[in-house]
Structure 1
Amino acid sequence: MIRIPFSLFALLLLCFTAQHAQAQEPVTPKLIWEINKADLGTVLEEQGPQLEEFHFTHTQDSLFFIEKVWTDCGCTTVEYTKDTLEVGETGTLQVSFDPSSGAGFFSRMIVVKGNLEGTQDTLFIEGNAIPRASDPEGTYRTRKGDLGFRLSKVNVGEVFTNEPKLKQVEVFNFGDKPFYKDSVEFAGPEYIQVSQLTDSIMPNDRGLLQVYYDGAMKNDLGYFEDQVSVNWKDSTSFIQLEILADVFEYYAPFAKDDLNLVPQLVIDPREIDLKTIKSSEIKVENVVLSNRGKQVLEIKKVQGNCECLKLEMSKTSLNPGESIVLKVVFDPKGRQGIDQRNIYVFTNDPLNPVQLLLLKSRVE
């Protein structure tokens, strides 16, 4: 047996205990930032450089100053606090982004290095830069009154119930009168609001409108098309906007150990191939929906992407281990060639709250 002298053993134990205690202590960041990522939204080239400020607080006892700041692109420049800060004092970085540097989505990185060990933080600015159009007539093909749009409809995209979605829409003024931000009025569903972001949209110039969509207030799930009327009080301009959105229930992340405790939807089969059918032949198929979880499964909605589908089921709540039949009726009248229908099942399964069932055929 190898014997370790008591004094040496005590010293090793003390070191281990100190290291263990140190490992258990939470690490306090040396700089606390109000935010570390800023979304500039949609930026038009003619708006010029966009400014964003980042604020931080110094938390250490030692004196602190910013030693160096660098970015990943020449389109981004930074001005920052040059003062030496004591504990509790605050500093600022002002970031300037030039939207003429490129087109489309951008994500620029700013690295901040301080004089103290471990003070190197990363900040980000993101957004969508849109260059000036050289041919407005060809670019803004959809006309609504004096305003030109790139697309005929406004697609908000995916909207979750935990927070509203914002969508910026670029417009061009083909008229001879300006549109002012403070004169916008709109009428439509209560879960949609429309505003003007730019203070004014001058003749032969462009600006930005913003659509606000509240998925929780919508109180429904799936794909929707809504109409909103927009007008400006100091002009005769009156337009209709068609708003498209896919609304989904939001479920917060949960522990892996709870995976088998939550509701779980299983669809069998997930794909139905009718092969070759006649357009006069109505087809009926049965699909089994099962709850493999240990909590009650709530089927909130079943939605097809066509009026040619009729969907029926006997109940919307499934106990653990229970199954029901979803009856799918497909009427191919008026269709020809390869056809695919999508059926969406919305449930409270937090891992897969929306599942897709495919119905394929070749209609003669």
Structure 2
Amino acid sequence: MIRFAFPLCLFLFLLIFSIGAQGQVDTVPKVIWKVNRIDLGTILEEQGLQTVEFEFTNTQDSVFVIRDVWQECGCTTVDFTRDSLVNGDSGVIKISFDPTSAAGYFSKLIVVKGNLLGAEDSLYLEGISIPYPSDVNRAYPVTQGVLGFRLKKVNMGDVFDNEPKIKYVEFYNKGENLLDQETFRSQTPPYIQISQVQQFVRPKERGLLMIRYDGALRKDLGYFEDLIPVEWENVAGSQIKLELIADLFEYFPPIPRSDLNEVPQLFIVQKEIDLKEISSRSVVRRSVTLTNKGHQVLEIRKIQGNCECLVIEAPKDQLQPGESMELSLVLDPMGRKGIDQRNIYIFSNDPVNPVQLIVMKSRIE
């Protein structure tokens, strides 16, 4: 028994040493990247190669050298710092993307491999590439002045109040004049900003408008439409109005499962009201019970219907834990006929279900 003690101790020592050494290898820091993901936004095919730079810094005591840069496809070309970098030195990797190689959304992976153990990082290049259409008039059927657009309205989609929403809108210059970025003007409210992306858009060329919508500055919730006048100074026919639509929401960060019972909880007894057949000459009244099943005060931020024919009345905008109230709904179907659906949106501080929908259906005779 005794003669096996020493080898066993030696084995345990080597095992612990090996695990410790492996742990040291795993904790070797890699190079530090300023960013590892770049979004090119919307790119028109005729804009040509798009080049971006990924910057990095060597934070290790050892000399760092880039050995190889692997690219996902031939649509990107790469150039990088080939010098040996000591601790504190910085370098750059330049990636050029050919927009003719893709249509729609793209995400390209670039893997950077260095000379040091564990020095392998992934970079991502993203964006939306729009090919040049074979039939311009068909691609941009909506004409305003000298400009052609794909759609009549610009849909900003869901806009949250924690960060502005940015969208790029294509247009085609059907006129005979150069559209200069410096002469672009827009009359916008404080929560909307519009700018021309390219410096110049020549006749019979496409351009991009960048629209920035700040929900926090709007300070409201629900569905909205905005009519924004824009123009290029001294260019005849460039005075147009952009129709913007957006759905504004309050942002709530994720909450731990353990806190689900502590937050406000809006409970709606009846989310669908079927009125069946009703007369267009009769006003219909209904009520819906709202209850706070949480353990904090429930705040009703806003109640919005999708028709002026619907009047909604709430006796209060706060419910204590366990408290209920009756929401009054009054529908005047005058002038309407056939299958009808009215939507009522309730915005609250319930972080799990901040927006809830009540549907009122009927067949109007």
Given that residues 286 and 328 in structure 2 are in contact (C-alpha distance below 8 angstroms), is that contact kept between their aligned partners in structure 1?
A: yes
Q: Which moved more, 1:167-176 or 1:103-112?
A: 103-112
| SS in structure 1 at match of 2:255 | coil
CA distance in 1 between counterparts of 2:17 and 2:287 reads 64
Q: CA deviation at 1:132?
A: 0.9
Q: Which moved more, 1:156-165 or 1:278-287?
A: 278-287
Q: Which residue of 1 aligns with 2:350?
A: 349
Q: CA deviation at 1:255?
A: 2.6
In the alignment, is residue 85 of structure 1 matched against residue 79 of structure 2? no
CA distance in 2 between counterparts of 1:275 and 1:324 reads 25
* Amino acid in the other structure paired with 1:328: L
CA distance in 1 between counterparts of 2:76 and 2:347 reads 43
Q: Which moved more, 1:27-36 or 1:262-271?
A: 27-36
- CA separation of 1:7 and 1:282: change in aligned 2, threshold 3 A: farther
Q: Which residue of 2 aligns with 1:322?
A: 323
- CA separation of 1:67 and 1:219: change in aligned 2, threshold 3 A: same
Q: Unaligned stretches of 5+ in structure 2?
A: none
Q: Which residue of 2 aligns with 1:240?
A: 241
Q: Which residue of 2 aligns with 1:110?
A: 110
| SS in structure 1 at match of 2:46 | helix
Q: Which moved more, 1:281-290 or 1:179-188?
A: 281-290
| SS in structure 1 at match of 2:182 | helix
Q: Which residue of 2 aligns with 1:202?
A: 202
Q: Which residue of 2 aligns with 1:119?
A: 119
RMSD: 2.8
Q: Which residue of 1 aligns with 2:286?
A: 285
Q: Which residue of 1 aligns with 2:71?
A: 71
- CA separation of 1:45 and 1:17: change in aligned 2, threshold 3 A: same
CA distance in 2 between counterparts of 1:182 and 1:28 reads 50
Q: Which residue of 1 aligns with 2:337?
A: 336
CA shift digits 1:74-124 (9 cap, x unpaired): 212222222222222222111111111121111111122222222222211
Q: Which residue of 2 aligns with 1:179?
A: 179
CA distance in 2 between counterparts of 1:57 and 1:307 reads 60
* Amino acid in the other structure paired with 1:171: F
| SS in structure 2 at match of 1:175 | coil
In the alignment, is residue 41 of structure 1 matched against residue 41 of structure 2? yes
- CA separation of 1:327 and 1:153: change in aligned 2, threshold 3 A: same
| TM-score, scaled relative to structure 2 | 0.90
- The aligned runs of 1:176-325 (5 Å cut-off) are 176-236=176-236, 237-325=238-326
- The aligned runs of 1:47-62 (5 Å cut-off) are 47-62=47-62
- CA separation of 1:153 and 1:23: change in aligned 2, threshold 3 A: same
| SS in structure 1 at match of 2:263 | coil
- CA separation of 1:59 and 1:310: change in aligned 2, threshold 3 A: same
CA distance in 1 between counterparts of 2:329 and 2:100 reads 52
CA distance in 1 between counterparts of 2:316 and 2:7 reads 74
Given that residues 161 and 214 in structure 2 are in contact (C-alpha distance below 8 angstroms), is that contact kept between their aligned partners in structure 1?
A: yes
- The aligned runs of 1:92-103 (5 Å cut-off) are 92-103=92-103
* Amino acid in the other structure paired with 2:165: K
CA distance in 1 between counterparts of 2:66 and 2:282 reads 74
| TM-score, scaled relative to structure 1 | 0.90
Q: CA deviation at 1:163?
A: 1.3
